[in-house]
Amino acid sequence: MGANAGAILGTLSHRSRLEGGDGSHFVARGLLQAWSRGDKTALEALIPLMYKDLRQRAHRFMGRERRGHTLQTTALIHEAYVRLMGGSPIAWQSRNHFLAIAARLMRRILVDHARVRRSLKRGGEGRPVSLDEECFMARQPSRDLVSLDDALEALAVVDPRKGRVIELRYFGGLSVDETAEILKVSSQTVMRDWKLAKVWLLREMSHRERAAAASGRP
């Protein structure tokens, strides 16, 4: 850990103890602010504080993947960390904002792997993405991760906010209230977007599958 991050961590930990509670959210927010100012050593101090949450999200992703995937949970977290370190500076808003960005990176990593696998196997089977009650709050057919990602990218063009709602809730694992906080809208708006986006995605994915079948594409 760098000297700057160490000093920040010590000061914030002391303040959080004075204010009561374990202070992990308070410390994480301070480290995120330091990272936003260009202190990349703050990320080294932040990861241990956030590791449990990152692992939970990585585990959710890997649970949807096929057995024998070349990436494992720890490797997925490490790859996301590398991309965070090498990325452009971000004006971090909150702990939830960080987790949402980390989840987006994990999504990109797994989709990239899935696209390469699909290309090598010329459309070989991948682990389907379940659009069931746990994920989309309604029982729906299963879909491949790449197909879901393609449809989500199309949704982001048509309606960026609805695309973000799906990304934050499905991929990021955030609650309605946490999603509303990041997007700066009401919880009611998030729920409305969630329901409409769910229908749009399923329709788009079905359309793409029919078009691919008609053209003979894998």
Read off the pLDDT of each residue in 97-110 and give the average, rounded to a whole number.
86
Where do the domains of the chain lie? 127-218
Per-residue pLDDT at 103: 84
Higher pLDDT, 162 or 109: 162
Separation CA 143–CA 205 (nearest Å): 8
- pLDDT band at residue 133, thresholds of 50, 70 and 90? very low
Read off the pLDDT of each residue in 142-154 and give the average, rounded to a whole number.
80
Per-residue pLDDT at 137: 34
- Whether 159 has a pLDDT exceeding 90, the answer reads yes
- At residue 101, what is the residue type? I
* Dihedral angle sign, alpha carbons of residues 117, 142, 164, 199: positive
- Whether 57 has a pLDDT exceeding 90, the answer reads no
- The alpha carbon of residue 100 and the mean position of all alpha carbons in its chain are separated, in whole angstroms, by 5
CATH number, span 127-218: 1.10.10
